[in-house]
Amino acid sequence: MKAEKLLEVRFPAKPERLCLVRSLVRSASTHSGCSGALCDKLVIAVNEACMNVIQHAYKGDESGEMVLEILNNGSELLFRLKDHAAPIDLNSVKPRDLDEIRPGGLGVHFIREIMDECRMGHLEKGAGNYLEMTKRID
């Protein structure tokens, strides 16, 4: 089954823009038939992914841009996040030890717990990075 693109949005790599992104993720998830609880989890995962790009790929440079696409193939949602930051070290993207008590650093853990599948890589010719997250629709 071919996936339907629900939305594609470009936005500056600024934390204050994530309120709009969260609203779009919730709306697209609800429209796709996800339960309220699943919508909440998807909002958390996409928000964490965006914050990781802002903090670690762009290193707080608010002149960067991000692109979020949400696709629905009838049985699962695909969230594709792209940036134009320098290629990141893919091996460094891992959750921190949960026994380490400190604030922050749990984004990768939340994403992996919530999503069914995650793939990341570099865009062609070093033009940035991508993260694809897939979740079956309840």
Question: ∠16-7-89 over CA atoms, to 5°?
Answer: 60
Q: How many separate domains does the chain show? A: 1
CATH of the domain at 19: 3.30.565.10
Q: Give the residue numbers spanning the domain of 89.
A: 4-136
Q: Indicate the pairing of strand 129-136 with strand 76-83.
A: antiparallel
CB 62 within 8 A of CB 13: yes
pLDDT digits (tens, 9 = 90+) for 33-63: 999 999 999 999 999 999 999 999 999 898 9
- Amino acid found at 59: K
CB 123 within 8 A of CB 82: yes
Question: How much is the pTM?
Answer: 0.90
pLDDT digits (tens, 9 = 90+) for 21-37: 999 999 999 999 999 99
User: Which residues fall within 8 angstroms of residue 104, CB to CB, at 6 or more apart?
Assistant: none
